[in-house]
Structure 1
Amino acid sequence: MILLAIGLNLALGGCGQKEPIKIGFIGGLTDRNSDNGQSGLNGVILAVEQFNRQGGREGQMVELVTKDDAQNPATAQQSTRELVAAKVEAVIGPFTSGMAKVIVPITAQNGIFQVSPTITSMDFYGKDDNLFRINRTTRDYAEDYASVLMSQGLRRTAVAYDTRNLNFTASWLKEFRAAEQAAGQSLAAEIAYESGDSTDFGQVISQMLASKPDSLVFISGALDVARLAQQARKQAPKLPIAAAEWAATEQLVELGGEVVEGLLIVQNYDRDDQSERYRDFADAFYKRFQRQPGYSTVAAYDATTVVLTALKNRKRGETLKQAALRSGPYQGLQQSITFDANGDTRRQAFFTTIQNGRYVKLQD
């Protein structure tokens, strides 16, 4: 078990020292798409450090218990049970819907309040449980993608999706298919593959191209999107490509280089935000971690803000969920966060393309 004592000295030997409040983090820190989990963890660490420097909860500090789900169901189950055993008050994470399918039943059984920064699958929408979500749903994203692609005159899209995160990718595909059908269109192809070191991405692209599509969409993580884009540029260099929001990390640009130039992808935050609040956060994050924040960083920081505010405001005899519902709306880094009774919220998103190695917002 990795214990991160954040901020002020948490040694319990001092006179009158209060026992720290434990909150948990769980995300993919060692898997193929660990960029999301690590970036999110850094956002949580910064938020907790700032909370402790400001005095915590009436002098009671927060201790972060960090666990890796490794994008592996067995690992995720074991890590979640260890968080339960550590008696955490809340859990921040996970970062993929596939892992949420494994983790959420365990936290729910043990009455632990949980806030996921990024999961979007419709399986977790509209449920009266202990899970709150910071992100939009796959329905919101997929409908927007269908609308934008059709506005560009693209009518025959071939889709590839990674079955390792099937709870997310199947949900996204289902909603995208429905949006296309509602507009009188149909998908040219739906190609499933399992992400791994030996995956033949050239074959995946060949299968997509066999349907003679006018565009390609990848429902995959950043590493796979970079490899799929590489093969797409070899086999059909002029065909428009897009990727689901899961891949919208700095790793995609770093790994993809020229082959992801022009790729269409959504961001659930504004990278170019010049507001004082966001710039102060971005500067503090860079000073702490020597890198720029990503979308999972922003969402995880906001998720931590929700948890810490609820902890600070909780009344005697009140559950953390009740405190969280009562304490809103929350001022996120860029957007106000208002939860409904089921812990769902709306979030603004921005379509971008990759140009000259950076994400550039599409003009309205």
Structure 2
Amino acid sequence: MEAAVARRGLPAASALALLAGLCLVGCGPKPALRIGFLGGLTGRAASFSEEGRNGVILAIEQRNQAGGVGGRTLELVVQDHGTTAGQAVPAFEALVATRVDAVIGPYASETALALLPAIDAARVLVLSPAVTSVALAGRDDHLVRLSRTTRDNAQALAEKLHARGQRRVALATDTGNRAYFVAWRDDFKAAFTALGGQVVVDAEFTSTPDTSFEGVVRSVLAAAPDALVAVTSSVDAALIAQQMAKQPQRVPMAAIAASDALLELGGGAVEGMLVAQAYNRADDSPRFRSFVEAYRARFDREPSYSAIASYDAVLVLAQALAQAAPGEPLRDAVLHYQPYEGVQGAIRFDGFGDGTRPAFFSVVRHGRFEPL
């Protein structure tokens, strides 16, 4: 090439300078792939998003140590969307403005529903580890979900309670989150009734720092159920269990959320509680144990489902980025190159980007979740 440039009238020294300049442009480090994180990192429910962020951090660090994706490192851009769904759209738009290649999050169905128009307008892949609302399923959009729907989860718990011989079930539902808790409540009622069971009362409440869970428990006990399902967060489920423990008559409890906060806040009051979980805590496979050990070493705590699913989200994203053809939309690539190997088995999506994961159940014994 040097001789060819010289023949066009440039001296050899100028040709060498031109080559050096081209190398500076084309031979330097490749730009990083920017991965956005969108979660609620403030407020009472912040721990769920914080654990998700930890899972993302660990996966990105490990991928970068292994060489990144096609020689490009992954760069994390974190955005807090605040405590309400109304704050999510400007937070998402601020994240997109940083020119991220994809977004991991959000972690609440209500937030995801509020974001759908903005997600499709931006045409940026949003890979949510944890949202489960049926209203998000079956849509041809840019939101891809790793978790299965509330309907699937509600059906699984209804079958489990019915198999345990419980026929008269009470609910305590947080109606402040209609996209998740109310939808879950409605799906559970339909599934449990179809099995021949009866929902004898639904003690509705809106979770606030001033909520009287004593009143919730008294409403439940007045209906004489043989089980109570807390359709709310782990924090509120623990508070309900504490109030139940104070009553002379106690009712066996189940919870649909089971983070470590349930154990930490519930103490002895949550002993014997049945909990529905989206991952297998008893998994002793080398892949899962390796992940758990790495997470403990990095964050000095046990990983939650949010951390596991978020770690898996990065695995999915990195593989899709590595295999995507030039110009192929990233959302299409995620669906095209599946299945993906997660920390607890294969990850698959249907044609709409809706994921499926099996349900797992545990019982709280001696301050720990013991798988059934």
Scaled by the length of structure 1, what TM-score is found?
0.92
Poorly superposed stretches of 4+, deviation over 4 Å: 12-15
Other structure's SS at 1:279 match: helix
**Per-residue deviation, 1:235:** 2.3
Please say if 1:324 is aligned against 2:334.
Answer: yes
1:57-136 correspondence to structure 2 within 5 Å: 57-136=69-148
1:160 to 151, 154, 172: 172
Which blocks of at least 5 consecutive residues in structure 2 are unaligned?
1-23
CA distance in 1, matches of 2:269, 2:90: 39
Kept in 1, the 8 Å contact 2:162–2:197? The answer is: no
1:258 to 2:268 alignment = yes
Question: Is 1:199–2:211 an aligned residue pair?
Answer: yes
- Indicate the SS of the match to 2:161: helix
Query: Counterparts in 2 of 1:294-313, with a 5 A limit?
Result: 294-313=304-323
Whole-angstrom CA distance in 2 between matches of 1:283 and 1:13: 41
Distance 1:156 1:18, change over 3 A: same
User: Does the aligned pair in 2 maintain the 1:335–1:347 contact within 8 Å?
Assistant: no
Q: Distance in 1 between matches of 2:222 and 2:26?
A: 70
The DSSP-based 3-state class of the residue aligned with 2:75 is: strand
Give the AA of the match of 2:168.
R
Alpha-carbon distance in structure 2 between the residues aligned to 1:330 and 1:237 = 48
Provide Cα deviations, 1:256-305, integer angstroms capped at 9, x if missing partner.
11001111111211112111111111111111111111111111111111
Distance 2:166 2:283 in 1: 30
Question: RMSD in angstroms over aligned alpha carbons?
Answer: 1.8
Structure 1 residue 210: deviation in Å?
2.3
Distance 1:55 1:308, change over 3 A: same
Query: Structure 1, residues 114-173: CA drift from partner, whole Å, max 9, x if none?
Result: 111111110111222111111121111111111111122211111111123220011101
How many equivalent pairs are there? 349
Cα deviations by residue, 1:193-249 (Å, 9 ceiling, x for unpaired): 1111111111111222222222111111111111011111212553110111xx211
Verify the 8 A CA contact 1:71 1:99 in the aligned structure 2: no
SS at match of 1:25: strand
Match among 331, 338, 346 for residue 348 of structure 2:
338
Equivalent position amino acid for 2:85 in 1? P
Q: Which residue of 1 aligns with 2:279?
A: 269
Identical positions, percent: 42
Distance 2:330 2:302 in 1: 31
Structure 1: gaps of 5 or more residues? 1-11
- For the 8 Å contact 2:167–2:196, the answer to whether it is kept is no
CA change 1:236–1:97 in 2 (3 A) is farther
CA displacement at 1:13 relative to structure 2: 12
Structure 2 CA distance, aligned partners of 1:148 and 1:171?
19
Q: Would you say the 8 A contact 2:201–2:220 is kept in 1?
A: yes
1:35, 1:249 within 8 Å by CA — same for their partners in 2? no
**Correspondences of 1:155-194 after superposition (within 5 Å):** 155-194=167-206
Q: Which moved more, 1:268-277 or 1:183-192?
A: 183-192
